[in-house]
Structure 1
Amino acid sequence: MSTSILFWRRTDLEGLERLELSVEADVVTATSTVICLESGGFRLEHRWRLDPRWSAQSVTVECWSAQDHGMLHLERAGTGWRVDGLPRADLEGAEEPDLSVTPFCNTFPIRKMLMEDARTSLALDTAFIDGPALTVARSRQRYDRQGPDRFRYVDLGLSLGFEADLVVDDRGLVQHYEHLFERIMPP
Structure 2
Amino acid sequence: MDPVYFWRRTDIEGFERLELLVSPLGIEARSTVICLEAGGFRLDHSWQLDSGWRAQAVTVERWNENGHGRLLLERAGSGWRVDGALRPDLDGAEEPDLSVTPFCNTFPIRRTPETPGASLSLDTAFIDGPALTVARSSQRYDRHGARTLRYVDLGLSCGFEADLTVDGEGLVISYEHLFERVMPA
Please state if 1:93 is matched with 2:92: yes
Please state if 1:64 is matched with 2:26: no
The aligned residue for residue 132 of structure 2 is 134
The aligned residue for residue 51 of structure 1 is 50
- In the alignment, residue 138 of structure 2 is paired with which amino acid? R
1:34-73 CA-to-partner distances (Å, cap 9, x unmatched) read: 0000000000000000000000000000000012310000
Q: For the residues of structure 2 that align with 1:74 and 1:45, how far apart are their CA atoms?
A: 14
* Identical counterparts, % of pairs: 69
The aligned residue for residue 8 of structure 2 is 9
Q: For the residues of structure 1 that align with 2:52 and 2:114, how far apart are their CA atoms?
A: 15
- In the alignment, residue 59 of structure 1 is paired with which amino acid? V
1:1-187 equivalences in 2 (<5 Å): 3-113=2-112, 116-118=113-115, 120-187=118-185
Aligned length: 184
Q: For the residues of structure 2 that align with 1:134 and 1:41, how far apart are their CA atoms?
A: 14
After superposition, the Cα gap between the structure-2 partners of 1:117 and 1:177, relative to the gap in structure 1 and judged at 3 Å, is: closer
Contact 2:140 2:152 in 1 (8 A): yes
1:86-128 CA-to-partner distances (Å, cap 9, x unmatched) read: 0000000000000000000000000112xx4448100000000
Q: For the residues of structure 2 that align with 1:33 and 1:66, how far apart are their CA atoms?
A: 17
Deviation at 1:3, TM superposition (A): 1.6
| 5+ long unaligned stretches in structure 2 | none
Secondary structure of the corresponding residue to residue 2 of structure 2: strand
Q: For the residues of structure 1 that align with 2:22 and 2:47, how far apart are their CA atoms?
A: 12
Q: For the residues of structure 2 that align with 1:53 and 1:27, how far apart are their CA atoms?
A: 8
TM-score normalised by L of structure 2:
0.98
Secondary structure of the corresponding residue to residue 137 of structure 1: strand
TM-score normalised by L of structure 1:
0.97
Secondary structure of the corresponding residue to residue 126 of structure 1: strand
**Aligned Cα root-mean-square deviation (Å):** 1.0
